[in-house]
Amino acid sequence: MAVYILRRLIQTIPVMLGVTIVVFLIMQLVPGDPARLLAGEGASPEQIEAIRVSLGLDKSLIEQYLKYLSQVLQGDLGKSMVTNAPVLEEIMIRLPTTVELACASIFVAVTLGLLAGIVSATKQNTWADMSLMVVALIGVSMPSFWMGLMLMYYFSVELGLFPVAGWGSLAHMVLPAITLGSGGAAIIARMTRSSMLEVIRQDYIRTARAKGVSEFKIVFKHALKNALIPIITVVGLQFGTLLGGTVITESVFAINGVGQLVINAIRTRDLPMVQGIVLMVSLIFMLVNMGVDILYRTVNKRVELE
């Protein structure tokens, strides 16, 4: 296990290197001059050029990238062009809020998705199955910003059950977590149903029923356990997606997380901030994938970590 983890950590190095190259080049292709943006409309050409030199934007792309890469390798993601604060410090202030939102959302997604998928599989081709799959289809198709606004209107404005916006208490988490987790719940429900249907048709399930084993034990101890591998894969991907997809939800509910930070950075063309956020999210996504692989082994001892 330790060797596998070490090998996976080493494999993240070329991936992260590729991420830095892609992000750096994409940000260079974004229209506009950050030096002119920082200088303001009334700035003279000399002032704009001075800012460009101070930011190192007068150098070639290769020189700019190599300088940036050397800083990253030292744990320095640079300084924000807008606030002049260290990028890493700014991200670490906002990151806990985004991680909390992602964890709450994946809890909602897994809970609702597993329950809906199990019911659909055990009640195949009944009204319950069809109703749940229709709801899952709607959940996948529904825009998160629209759902967030509807939840906010009915449960906050009309009923006054939850805060309209902000972050800081359990009550603040409920609506954003449902908004962000509903799409994931729909995907997990469909995958759970598909995986469970394959398992419950196996001979050992029929044998367990013939021996008089209770349906609850058959479903949760035998069928669900053997159907978990593809479900875990989907959950891992959903968690990584949630971490990178909180932008809209954070905007709707005025949550001061990484999503809001990256929106402001893109608006002001704060290149170091955007690059730092993408690097951080990419690293977390790879660590989540590694955790999913390790979880395979925990759930099913027959799975080899190769």
Mark whether 138 and 230 lie in a shared domain.
Answer: yes
Question: Is the CA virtual torsion 229, 230, 233, 234 positive or negative?
Answer: negative
For residue 246, the SS3 value is coil
Mark whether 119 and 61 lie in a shared domain.
Answer: no
- DSSP label at residue 34: H
Q: Do the Cβ atoms of 52 and 39 come closer than 8 Å? A: no
Any domain includes 193:
yes
pLDDT of residue 32: 67
Mark whether 242 and 268 lie in a shared domain.
Answer: yes
d(CA 94, CA 257): 5
Q: What CATH number does residue 203 fall under?
A: 1.10.3720.10
Q: Do the Cβ atoms of 218 and 205 come closer than 8 Å? A: yes
d(CA 162, CA 146): 17
Instruction: Please give the helix or strand (H or E) that residue 275 lies within, else none.
Output: helix 271-299
Mark whether 68 and 97 lie in a shared domain.
Answer: no
Point out the domain boundary residue: 50, 77, 104. 77
| Residue 31: band (very low, low, confident or very high) from pLDDT cuts 50, 70, 90 | low
Q: Picking from 26-35, 52-61, 259-268, which range would have the lowest pLDDT averaged per residue?
A: 26-35
At 65-112, the pLDDT tens digits run 888 788 777 877 777 877 778 888 888 888 888 888 888 888 988 888
| Residue 183: band (very low, low, confident or very high) from pLDDT cuts 50, 70, 90 | confident
- Domain with 97, as residue range(s), is 88-299
Point out the domain boundary residue: 55, 77, 99. 77
3-state DSSP helix/strand/coil % of the chain, to nearest 5? 75, 0, 20
